[in-house]
């Protein structure tokens, strides 16, 4: 029984052990299953977090931005240079200094030491960024007390609320920053690295107001109007060549290293910056500066409204100087380049300088020569002559009391006879006035001359075929007045371009303001010389026009300084009827209802070519002013000629190629005579002989023997001749003018 029971108990134990084992295995499997499911859930959650969760993506981006950032690196804007290398507009590296009040240096600083340093720094900042500096740079002046208040307030903020603070009211130069690091407390490094500096390119103009209208601006202005905003694009060279000047911005990745401070790090997406190219203008800084100063002085003296002075290089059309000065609020006090570019944008009647174009038309299509006579009827102030429907007078009796009133074309040009040119043009073209107006149109007096991108005003010349021709007046009134510079409006740039074409032997070229574009000293584009009119007239006419300019210069030579070089010129004076841009209080009031005869505004001008033989420079000066009891002078010879004289003297002094070069003799030479005789002159058949240095009698003998007609002015020996020696004699009735002097 006991054995049987024992066997039964053993079986029960075995069964219980197996059950326990199965239970344990089952539980382990369940636990593994649960753990597997938990692991799978974790993996799925991680995948969801990494790939799909928007909140996690956002938080990662915030973290990334908090440590790294991508910044644009601005390109340095290219420099605008004068032709002689003087910078006219340049981007200068400027610094912004930022104090980090959360830095360890300030956080651990002794309070008394900091407060003493802050007080001294405040005084130095107020002294450096003083009231005069604030006015010059256009910011609000900050006193030492205000600086100290800011420095103290930021220091006492709670640690986490401290911030980086831009302490200076404007950007500073590298020289200023170096000085401050040496001498200003807190910037001297004694508290450690407590500040940061960022740099910026600021556009500066080293010569201030010089040529500012030509340089212009590159930024787009938005002017708020009631109806809609007006967008004004960039202007001048800055605007026209902005694509070259602005360069290409780069890109850099930065890492946060301290409160308010970042350092650049390497990244494949970093893009190197490409700085802007440089623009080399045609302007001569010396001529521009001299013309600016001299014109400014004349405008103040005459209490004028505005003035222009332009110098143009004959063959290339290069503008060496373009000065445009307009009056400030009170005439006679302040004049600025920034009022308006009158040289390009102000179109008014030119007056007698137009007589060169009229002379060209009379010689070229009117059948005239320099000896063609017209009866001026002894016209003078108070004695008007009726021509067509117009009543015209001269400033003086050109013919003289003892004469019959007839004068030649060259005499009329030299004396600037309105009556002569009015009669000549009216009688010649009254039956077909379009022949005359079309010829003037060929010379581009009703068009642009190539600077419309700079705001150039188009010439306003009405064709006789236009219905407007008879709107205000008729041929009998318009044609005579047009002959001496009325009934058309042109800006100064048109007149000098025309005269420059005559000086260029009849080839009119467009004015050039930019010569080339350079990058790192290499030329990447050169601007071409652009012809406007290849042949204005025949060479015979050009030679005769040279004689006219020489005769006019000789008549007015006493009004110029003793220039060491011969020149040609023509003055002009015209009453102004067209309104113009002005900041002057008086001018604005006068022009509210348009100008009239009682306002007495006049434009006095002069155009010169130099030297007389083979001209290389053309100079125009114009002054617009109102006749007042305090200032009555208004003729071109009075208000414009002195400025032109100074400009020509400066050009002659600074251009060595205009001076005669004496070669050293290879052997000793003793002259046998001190007088040049006619027998010593070699005359080549068909060529203009050189008669300079001869007496008048010998010169006339030689020239007339060569088949030339001779006119002359002055006394003494021949100083210059209107037609250079060696030029071919194109016709038997060619006239040459001689200037005599002692």
| CA 250 remoteness from chain centre | 29
Domain-wise residue ranges, the chain: 2-52, 70-280, 285-516+526-656, 678-741
Region 582-596: mean pLDDT is 92
Rounded to whole angstroms, the Cα distance separating 521 from 524 reads: 9
CA separation, residue 57 to residues 49, 53, 256 (Å)? 8, 6, 20
Q: Which CATH superfamily is domain 70-280 in?
A: Penicillin-binding protein 2a (Domain 2) (3.90.1310.10)
For residue 645 the two structure tokens come to 């004289």
pLDDT at 673 exceeding the cut of 50: no
- At 185-213, the pLDDT tens digits run 888 877 665 666 666 667 888 888 889 99
Partners of 165 in the β-ladder: 99
| CA 299 remoteness from chain centre | 20
pLDDT of residue 647: 96
C-alpha torsion sign, points 551, 557, 561, 562: positive
| CA 36 remoteness from chain centre | 81
For residue 558 the two structure tokens come to 């006493």
Contacts of 392 (CB under 8 A, 6+ apart): 379, 384, 385, 386, 418, 419, 422, 480, 481, 484
pLDDT at 127 exceeding the cut of 70: yes
- At 98-120, the pLDDT tens digits run 787 777 777 778 888 889 988 99
What's the mean pLDDT when you consider all of the chain?
A: 86
Residue matched to tokens 């960039």: 234
Instruction: Provide the pairing of β-strand 390-392 with 406-408.
Output: unpaired
**Cβ atoms of 482 and 446 closer than 8 Å:** no
**Cβ atoms of 416 and 552 closer than 8 Å:** yes
Instruction: Name the fold adopted by 285-516+526-656.
Output: Beta-lactamase (3.40.710)
pLDDT at 58 exceeding the cut of 60: no
Please state which of the four CATH numbers 3.30.10.20, 3.40.190.10, 3.90.1150.10, 3.40.930.10 is assigned to the domain occupying 678-741: 3.30.10.20
pLDDT at 7 exceeding the cut of 90: no
Select from 344, 282, 702, 327 the least CA-distant residue to 527.
282
Region 416-442: mean pLDDT is 97
Indicate the DSSP class of residue 467: G
Helix (H) or strand (E) holding 680: none
């Amino acid at each position: 029984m006991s054995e049987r029971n024992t066997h039964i108990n053993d079986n029960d134990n075995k069964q219980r052990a197996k059950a326990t084992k199965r239970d344990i295995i089952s539980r382990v499997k369940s636990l593994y299953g649960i753990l597997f499911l938990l692991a799978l859930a974790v993996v799925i959650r991680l995948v969801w977090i990494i790939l799909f969760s928007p909140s996690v993506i956002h938080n990662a981006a915030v973290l990334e931005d908090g440590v790294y950032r991508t910044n644009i690196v601005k390109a340095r804007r290219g420099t605008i240079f004068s032709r002689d290398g003087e910078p006219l507009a340049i981007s200068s590296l400027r610094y912004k200094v930022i104090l980090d009040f959360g830095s360890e240096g300030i956080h651990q600083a002794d309070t008394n030491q900091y407060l003493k340093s802050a007080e001294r720094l405040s005084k130095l900042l107020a002294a450096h960024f003083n009231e005069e500096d604030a006015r010059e740079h256009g910011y609000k002046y900050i006193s030492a007390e205000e600086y100290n208040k800011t420095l103290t307030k930021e220091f006492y903020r709670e640690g986490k609320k401290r911030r980086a603070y831009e302490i200076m009211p404007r950007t500073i130069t590298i020289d200023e920053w170096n000085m401050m690091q040496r001498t200003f407390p807190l910037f001297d490094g004694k508290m450690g690295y407590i500040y940061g500096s960022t740099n910026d390119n600021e556009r500066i103009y080293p010569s201030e107001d010089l040529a500012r209208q030509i340089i212009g601006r590159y930024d787009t202005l938005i002017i708020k109007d009631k109806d809609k905003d007006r967008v004004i694009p960039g202007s001048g060279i800055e605007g026209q060549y902005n694509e070259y000047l602005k360069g290409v911005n780069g890109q850099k990745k930065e890492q946060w290293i301290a409160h308010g401070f970042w350092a650049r790090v390497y990244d494949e997406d970093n893009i190197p910056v490409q700085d802007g190219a440089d623009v080399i203008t045609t302007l001569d800084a010396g001529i521009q500066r001299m013309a600016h100063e001299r014109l400014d002085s004349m405008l103040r003296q005459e209490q004028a409204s505005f003035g222009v002075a332009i110098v143009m290089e004959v063959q290339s059309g290069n503008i060496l100087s373009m000065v445009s000065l307009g009056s400030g609020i009170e005439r006679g006090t302040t004049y600025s380049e920034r009022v308006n570019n009158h040289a390009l944008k102000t179109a008014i009647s030119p007056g007698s300088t137009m007589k060169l174009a009229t002379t060209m038309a009379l010689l070229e299509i009117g059948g005239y020569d320099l000896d063609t006579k017209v009866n001026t009827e002894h016209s003078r102030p108070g004695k008007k002559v009726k021509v067509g429907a117009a009543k015209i007078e001269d400033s003086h009796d050109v013919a003289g009391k003892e004469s019959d009133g007839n004068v030649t074309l060259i005499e009329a040009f030299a004396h600037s006879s309105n009556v002569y040119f009015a009669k000549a043009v009216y009688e010649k073209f009254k039956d077909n006035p379009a022949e005359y107006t079309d010829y003037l149109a060929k010379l581009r007096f009703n068009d642009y001359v190539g600077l419309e991108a700079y705001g150039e005003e188009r010439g306003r010349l009405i064709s006789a075929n236009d219905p407007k021709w008879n709107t205000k007046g008729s041929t009998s009134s318009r044609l005579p007045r047009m002959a001496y510079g009325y009934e058309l409006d042109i800006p100064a740039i048109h007149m000098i371009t025309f005269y420059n074409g005559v000086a260029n032997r009849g080839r009119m070229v467009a004015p050039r303001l930019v010569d080339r574009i350079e990058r790192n000293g290499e030329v990447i584009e050169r601007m071409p010389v652009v012809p406007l009119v290849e042949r204005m007239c025949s060479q015979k006419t050009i030679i005769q026009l040279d004689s006219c300019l020489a005769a006019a210069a000789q008549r007015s030579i006493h009004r110029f300084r003793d220039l060491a070089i011969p020149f040609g010129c023509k003055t002009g004076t015209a009453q102004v009827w067209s309104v113009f841009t002005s900041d002057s209080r008086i001018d604005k009031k006068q022009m509210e209802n348009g100008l009239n005869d009682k306002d007495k505004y006049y434009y006095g001008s002069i155009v010169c070519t130099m030297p007389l033989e083979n001209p290389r420079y053309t100079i125009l000066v114009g002054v617009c002013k109102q006749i007042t009891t305090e200032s009555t002078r208004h003729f071109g010879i009075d208000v414009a000629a002195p400025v032109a004289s100074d400009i020509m003297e400066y050009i002659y002094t600074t251009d060595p190629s205009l001076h005669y070069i004496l070669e050293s003799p290879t052997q000793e030479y003793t002259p046998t005579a001190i007088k040049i005789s006619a027998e010593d002159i070699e005359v080549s058949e068909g060529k203009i002989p050189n008669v300079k240095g001869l007496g008048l009698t010998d010169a006339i003998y030689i020239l007339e023997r060569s088949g030339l007609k001779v006119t002359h002015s002055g006394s003494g020996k021949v100083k210059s001749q209107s037609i250079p020696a060696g030029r071919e004699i194109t016709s038997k009735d060619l006239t040459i003018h001689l200037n005599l002097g002692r």
